[in-house]
Structure 1
Amino acid sequence: MYTVIGATKSRAFRVMWMLEELGQAYEHIPAAARSDEARRYNPSGKIPALKDGDEVLTDSVAIMTYLADKHGKLTAPAGTPARARQDALTFWLIDEFDAVLWAAAKHSFVFPEEQRVPQVKDSLKAEFKRAAAILSERLDGPFLMGDEITLPDLLALHCINWSIGANFPRVDDRLGQWARKMRERPAYIAAQSRDAAA
């Protein structure tokens, strides 16, 4: 059985949702970032971490890629053009969505107060809005890669949810409708229910 280490309202949710989509059982340790519990699994204290037997893996996207490859679901096969296109979108989402949101978080509550530059958040919000418009434009089908849900769908929705909590601009109606449908997935709801249980 897998063990996911990290608070539900963090990037750990991506891993939990993926495990639910994969139909894999897991234990959840809702450790906060930089807590003693988190440092037991990752010396930096960053979350999430995934325990698979004696192995401990870190970084949400690396964990998701590992799980998708291991179980042969939510991903195109490695070594195919479809996988290269999927990876390109995954890396784009990390650069254009995740990194922008993380930069805003650092200037909101992560950095010591004297190192924060609140004015930078306006440009980050504009950058996110531009990227969200691009993502909406490329949406062609029920999922980002076409007819089947893949890792980028989970990553993108998590970032859109994060953007709402961070008071970033709302995504357009097309992307918003896609996001609503994703939130209705039983696996998403099951992963979210872990928060109430914790």
Structure 2
Amino acid sequence: MLSLYYYPGNASLFPHMLLRELGAAFELRLVDRTRDAQKSPEYLKLNPHGRIPVLVDGDLVLYETAAIALYLVDRHPEAGLAPPVGTPERAQFYKWMVHLTNTPQAEYHAWFYPHEHVLDPAAAATVQAAAGQRLNGMFDRIAGALGDGPFLLGRTFSAADLFLLMLLRWGRGMPRPPRTLPALGAFAERVLARPAVQATFAAEGLAAPLV
């Protein structure tokens, strides 16, 4: 059985939603960040970077959120959560997966942990403000590309939409939450309405506001 090492609302939220959308058999293993369990010797054997999530599938130990998602959609092609390999649609899917992990997901690190990006603690607030401005621009462009959607790949729902939902949720406490952009707000409501997504939020104990 697959095992997902997770913490509620963390980057593990995306593969957790994906596993439920796939209908895969899996178990959740809590990594308690309130006790720095992600830095424990046991967890560092799974992910030496001390970050969540990790997926274990038999002898395979896999970390990096996007890598886990790509592995899962390939492992369950029958679910149709990624277009067929070798098609133009699959290329667009790769584009969104790489963009979301390389651009807004990476930028959030400076927003949430600005102190890790400076030598002078007094500069942390400026680092965070600059990251917030960059994130606003990123979500403006995603909203423009999404248009009426309804999804990132047009009419076809894919794993990339779950990834975007997680990133929208992370911005709920920003001065301008991404969901306040009409295209992204409507998108979030569509994805949040999916039963597998609702089941994930319930299992992780995530209460409103969800995004």
- Residues 100-127 of structure 1: CA distance to partner in whole angstroms, max 9, x if unpaired? 112212215x679955622111121111
Q: 1:24 to 1:111 in 2, by over 3 A?
A: same
Report which stretch shifted further, 127-136 or 112-121. 112-121
Q: 1:39 to 1:178 in 2, by over 3 A?
A: same
Contact kept? 2:150, 2:187, Cα under 8 Å: yes
Q: 1:35 to 1:173 in 2, by over 3 A?
A: farther
Task: Determine whether 1:69 maps to 2:78.
Answer: no
Which sections of structure 1, spanning at least 5 residues, go unmatched? none
Q: 1:57 to 1:114 in 2, by over 3 A?
A: same
Corresponding residue pairs, total? 195
The DSSP-based 3-state class of the residue aligned with 1:117 is helix
Contact kept? 1:6, 1:49, Cα under 8 Å: yes
Task: Determine whether 1:13 maps to 2:13.
Answer: yes
Partner of 1:42: 47
Partner of 2:58: 53
Contact kept? 1:38, 1:47, Cα under 8 Å: no
Give RMSD over aligned pairs.
2.1
Task: Determine whether 1:191 maps to 2:200.
Answer: yes
Partner of 1:30: 30
Runs of 4+ in structure 1 over 4 Å off: 110-116
Identity %: 29
Q: 1:123 to 1:114 in 2, by over 3 A?
A: closer
Amino acid across the alignment from 1:156: L
Partner of 2:172: 164
Q: State the TM-score, normalized to the length of structure 1.
A: 0.89
CA distance in 2, matches of 1:114, 1:127: 21
Contact kept? 1:38, 1:46, Cα under 8 Å: no
Partner of 1:79: 86
CA distance in 1, matches of 2:118, 2:126: 16
Which residues of 2 match residues 126-145 of structure 1 at below 5 A? 126-139=133-146, 140-145=148-153
Deviation at 1:95, TM superposition (A): 2.8
Contact kept? 1:36, 1:45, Cα under 8 Å: no
